[in-house]
């Protein structure tokens, strides 16, 4: 059984995100969707939610699924890295505005995932979903499909790192 509260907490946008329509799960085409814009998870319909309060994500989600072709032989476990905390150099663990009064920052690192790179934070969140598998992408700029016991979804890859200093010297 899917815990919709777990999905809401981990995959919906946070309350400080101005896209209010991503703060709560919403129903679309017989499924319930949780998304923060970078990742979305689709599970069976939960009738306590309604349609999305804004139509913006709807065509994107429908387009991703209409283009999806699944080859069962290419699913694999999702690569993960442990999430580390970096101590805030401005407050030395005391808490300040810079670190949202936490005293630390999450150490955002990139995880190689086929031809793309994904955030270690998202990789670890997705990996917590029961029996999660992913299709390793062959391109670095396309959404990455994953499935788990009870649902599926897509994750946006990280933008490839470009050394702007090196490009300016040319």
Q: Which two tokens stand for residue 97?
A: 């505005």
Question: What is the secondary structure of 47-73 as a DSSP string?
Answer: TTS-B-SSSTHHHHHHHHHHT----GG
Question: What is residue 28's predicted lDDT score, i.e. its pLDDT?
Answer: 92
Tokens of 140: 């670095």
- Which residues on neighbouring strands pair with residue 134, listed in sequence order? 76, 146
Q: What is the pLDDT of residues 50-63, one digit of tens each?
A: 888 788 888 889 99
Q: For position 52, what pLDDT does the model report? A: 83
* Across 18-27, 79-88, 116-125, least confident range: 79-88
Do 43 and 7 meet the contact criterion of CB atoms below 8 Å apart?
Answer: yes
Residue 170 has pLDDT above 50, yes or no: no
- Determine phi and psi for 144, rounding to 5 degrees: -105, 125
Closest to 143 measured CA to CA, from 133, 152, 153, 129: 153
The per-residue pLDDT for 11 is 93
Residues of the chain above pLDDT 70, percent: 91
Alpha carbon distance 130, 149 (integer Å): 6
Determine what percent of the chain is predicted with pLDDT higher than 90: 29
Q: What is the structure's pLDDT at 56?
A: 84
Tens of pLDDT along 104-159?
Answer: 777 777 888 888 888 888 888 888 898 999 988 888 888 889 999 999 999 988 87
Per-residue confidence (pLDDT) for residue 72, from 0 to 100? 78
Contact by Cβ (8 Å): 35, 26: no
Question: For residue 47, what pLDDT is reported?
Answer: 83
Q: Is the pLDDT of residue 95 over 60?
A: yes
């Amino acid at each position: 059984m899917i815990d919709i509260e777990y999905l809401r907490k981990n995959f919906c946008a946070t309350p400080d995100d101005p896209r209010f329509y991503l703060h709560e799960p919403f129903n679309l085409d017989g499924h319930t969707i949780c998304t923060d814009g970078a990742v979305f998870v689709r599970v069976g319909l939960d009738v306590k939610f309604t349609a999305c309060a804004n139509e913006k994500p709807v065509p994107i989600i429908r387009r991703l699924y209409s283009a999806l072709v699944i080859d069962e032989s290419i699913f694999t476990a999702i690569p993960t890295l442990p999430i580390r905390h970096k101590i805030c150099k401005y407050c030395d663990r005391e808490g300040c505005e810079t670190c949202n009064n936490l005293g630390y920052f999450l150490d955002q690192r990139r995880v190689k995932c086929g031809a793309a790179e994904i955030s270690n934070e998202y990789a670890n969140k997705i990996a917590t979903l029961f029996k999660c598998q992913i299709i390793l992408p062959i391109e670095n700029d396309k959404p990455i499909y994953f499935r788990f016991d009870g649902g599926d979804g897509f994750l946006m890859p990280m933008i490839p790192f470009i050394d702007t200093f090196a490009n300016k010297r040319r």
